[in-house]
Structure 1
């Protein structure tokens, strides 16, 4: 039994779920069998037994034509349930279309659909149902359309909310990088992940639709003679409720019990499923290329895989967490980006991969990947480029994969999309790539789901997904943060092997300065949304000149660290993106800060050896590093 099947089985094992399941099965059985068993008796007219009260011959009495009310209530189960289900299906389908339209349509059209949905949700569903019933006219068809259209807005808003929560997951970003189209993204990655809460709310919605349909029939707007449902029988019974209540209470009780069964099953499913109802070790270490000078960055050398100049990322507020970043990555080169949380490292990488969503805004004098300007290109133009030549490895390996698809299927999707392979060929390549990233038993593992992989194995599989194409650049956003030291070393070694064998460039983002120093050729140090220093990795510990870089290095413990002393940290906290101080952003925490630092922001200047540093008073060569303080925030 799969995990999904076991979760639904757990619903039935709860007392409420078991009771609701029994009631639903009884209603379904009655809807199927009652017309066959008692259909003829329910239509027999007996003028000698008109409007009789309950008796041994007629347990609930008879109507104005002498027909047995009990048989009519039982036979009406089929039409009542079918009409409620039909209206629910219509509402769910329309709600799905309206709720997912913003993900597929252009942005302006999507906003119009969202506005229409929010406006419709403001009106009570019953009022909308009455409005549509008047438009479509009385009768069964009109009532189904009215109730379906009335329930669609609330289901559409639920779909929009759930889709938005899934759209922020790493596996969705990975699919975008892979160049997956919007329709395919919706069908294969978003809808399967929101299917359970939608099913739960649809079940509850069926109970509401049943009640609404009974109300319309009671008012004479629904089922018309000679057909009958519970609402119509209730209306007929109320005319004589003062004489005998049974003809009115029987259909009323049927509506309540059936609606309760739908609602109880939905609530039990929500509780059981946790758904909120809303409504080679040294092989890759290549010789360090000469760091790019400022002029080379500004020219955007033609050999650079990724060329970035004056990159800025802003959000409403205004907030600008990335402020004028410029760098380049050469073919086969490994560039590391380090800095504290909030320094803008990940946003820089996401902007380079075109993964910054509205209301975020990305601007740059130049943002070029593999010779293509990213900001000026359309999504269709970028799909084959980003999907086949740019790969991303995200921080959390658990959220990097779609949990409802097998790992092999997700890897194969990239090859199907960009290499036009058949399903079988793509799966074979997926197995080969899993083998290439040293996943044991790749044939078996390809059929397993992400939760069946360990953290390190998921991260290897994520790298394998990036290699399904022929990537020229891998952006690894803290790929080892959630892993233990042993697995971390294995993942880093694998990235080094990929560079050596495939000639792929690497942009590695990490908090760990030592990891970057051991893995990369060149290091970019970021603080408060800017690059404050760029230098070769081999000279990091000896040649770092910015006080912030020196403080990061001093805060890293080693084997010689005194275990009886407090660990050194950098005093103070990084500035918030919307409260960056005037002058040098690091000045409030810097032991070398002077008046000039507080009023004037230093440019990223290039030394004679290509070393770039943004500091008015950098540490000179041979000058001992300042020790980080023992208090404050790391």
Structure 2
């Protein structure tokens, strides 16, 4: 089967996602703040070092002036210059302590995996005790152990950071160590250290980097606190904490001079926080869309057929969509589809066929570490590969509404947030629209229900609330992923009627994913049948029962009992099981379970081709269909 790019491919690497994040307002702000801070730290001592150290007995304890922006200290030295010069030492000590904390935390965190069971338990218990110890007291204790001064403070704060980092790493490695690929590596005889370097550390690199950036702000504050207490930096050196201590006595005479070091600490801490937010966003669990495959991978893939020419002007056009994972497994394999304006399209297939991943890829919601690649993904004329932001034009209704609703927030507040963020509405306007949308989905007493939390709703009402959330904007496409699962028959019908009303009132298209063919036949106009990550048949819903051409589609229909089915008749089943995403991709994926399969089916994969108006099938032996001559199997051509 074709393999996806390795984790080092820029399209899916942290570096690529970091570049994308740096182009956002958050990224620009964080990058600008880091550049300013770095320039001040590098150039500050060179430009203002002499001014910061020059003693002027004629200008002792002066206030702010044009000559001295923040005034002078008790030796007549310029306070503004000293604050600027102190930037380098403050950052150096902070970063050195951060390195000590991160490296020590990584070593202790992975130690239980490398060491034996007894030593591993001892390390885990030790880390637990240290984490439970009050942090401030721990820092003060270590400061007395390592001694007074900048070096002692650096080691004290760095070592005090180790337990929290170690606990984080232990929790992450414990979850990863139970993974199947780690167990397989152990069975293959991979050594402990290689197991850590190849399988554990790469998978915790991003959260560890996020922790380091966020912990740096706390380390800076701890350093300033120790220096303020006289346990940190000693004269003649000075950092922001020591400057704050020196100017504290004059806070009522010259408050600006006393607050300036504190403001520097706060702004630098905010910068570290912004950097942490950038890493958090860059390591977010979305799969970035790739414009195209790497050249080495493109040649390994057979080109997927283009959508029908009649798709011009369609709402959604997808060509050669693939969703895969770093280990080479591919769950969606070259899907091409179109959705017209206002059309209701059904997507059916067994569990694991790739239905939900296809829908998530359209919405740019494929979870990490999945990767999405496509030759074309357009929505309402916009290329989603270069502009994945869909705003409020796409609504997603998930299978479990409790996973979409925050149990700690009121339902109305969650709906109004959509209008505030995406539509620019005021809080009052958003609240009024939330009540209106809840009423539109036929939730009684909408104003009162808007003040309730999700657990106070029934299952059907929660599903309606999620639909109402999608209607807060003006969606042009509603993706409903198993919206009636786990609901009783009456509530199912109400939800389906509601989706039909939404289509009628808004003109939105509907992509309905379901295992229930009866539901699809009731709601949709066209049906796509998926198997093993591919579309194997595209047909009108009227042809679903009795007119399907692919043996897999006919088997799905035949496995559903009807009101006329004899109760004593054994229910029809499809023999075998669907292939795994990582199974070999040779021939027709349904061949091992198909009664019509021939040697050609097992060796050559059929493409999705049209054989009638509005119908396509991927099969060498379609039932009741006449394929074009260039794609007929050899035996059929001979018979003709």
Q: How does 1:402-551 map to 2 (within 5 A)?
A: 402-551=406-555
Q: Which residue of 1 aligns with 2:165?
A: 153
User: Quick one: structure 1 residues 139 and 316, their matched pair in 2 at CA, closer, same or farther if it must change by over 3 Å?
Assistant: closer
User: Quick one: structure 1 residues 105 and 561, their matched pair in 2 at CA, closer, same or farther if it must change by over 3 Å?
Assistant: same
User: Quick one: structure 1 residues 108 and 533, their matched pair in 2 at CA, closer, same or farther if it must change by over 3 Å?
Assistant: same
Alpha-carbon separation, structure 2, partners of 1:339 and 1:132: 67
**CA RMSD, Structure 1 to Structure 2 (Å):** 4.2
Q: 1:443 aligns to what SS in structure 2?
A: helix
Query: With structure 1 as the length reference, what TM-score do the two structures score?
Result: 0.56
Contact 1:143 1:221 survives alignment (8 Å):
no
Q: 1:542 aligns to what SS in structure 2?
A: coil
User: Quick one: structure 1 residues 423 and 161, their matched pair in 2 at CA, closer, same or farther if it must change by over 3 Å?
Assistant: farther
Q: Deviations over 1:83-110 (max 9, x none)?
A: xxxxxxxxxxxxxxxxxx99x9668999
Mapped pair 1:376 → 2:386: yes
User: Quick one: structure 1 residues 589 and 116, their matched pair in 2 at CA, closer, same or farther if it must change by over 3 Å?
Assistant: farther
Q: Return the offset for 1:516.
A: 0.4
Q: 2:323 aligns to what SS in structure 1?
A: strand
Q: Which residue of 2 aligns with 1:399?
A: 403
Q: Deviations over 1:544-594 (max 9, x none)?
A: 110000000000011111212322111110011111452111011111111
Alpha-carbon separation, structure 1, partners of 2:431 and 2:170: 35
Q: Deviations over 1:275-325 (max 9, x none)?
A: xxxxxxxxxxxxxxxxxxx99825584421111011011112211111110
1:119 aligns with one of 97, 103, 108: 103
Q: Which residue of 1 aligns with 2:619?
A: 615
Q: Return the offset for 1:403.
A: 1.3
2:315 aligns with one of 305, 311, 315: 305
Query: With structure 2 as the length reference, what TM-score do the two structures score?
Result: 0.55
Alpha-carbon separation, structure 2, partners of 1:163 and 1:433: 41
Q: Deviations over 1:583-625 (max 9, x none)?
A: 1110111111111111111111101322101111111169xxx
Q: Size of the alignment, in residue pairs?
A: 395
Mapped pair 1:390 → 2:394: yes
Q: Return the offset for 1:355.
A: 0.9
Q: Deviations over 1:152-211 (max 9, x none)?
A: 5247659989999xxxxxxxxxxxxxxxxxxxxxxxxxxxxxxxxxxxxxxxxxxxxxxx
Q: Which residue of 2 aligns with 1:342?
A: 352
Contact 1:117 1:156 survives alignment (8 Å):
no
1:332 aligns with one of 307, 323, 342: 342
Contact 1:133 1:143 survives alignment (8 Å):
no
Alpha-carbon separation, structure 2, partners of 1:486 and 1:134: 71
Q: Which residue of 2 aligns with 1:320?
A: 330
Q: How does 1:127-146 map to 2 (within 5 A)?
A: 130=142, 134=146, 137=149
User: Quick one: structure 1 residues 342 and 396, their matched pair in 2 at CA, closer, same or farther if it must change by over 3 Å?
Assistant: same
User: Quick one: structure 1 residues 437 and 459, their matched pair in 2 at CA, closer, same or farther if it must change by over 3 Å?
Assistant: same
User: Quick one: structure 1 residues 487 and 310, their matched pair in 2 at CA, closer, same or farther if it must change by over 3 Å?
Assistant: same
Q: Which residue of 2 aligns with 1:560?
A: 564
Alpha-carbon separation, structure 1, partners of 2:169 and 2:434: 37
User: Quick one: structure 1 residues 117 and 417, their matched pair in 2 at CA, closer, same or farther if it must change by over 3 Å?
Assistant: farther
Q: 2:500 aligns to what SS in structure 1?
A: helix
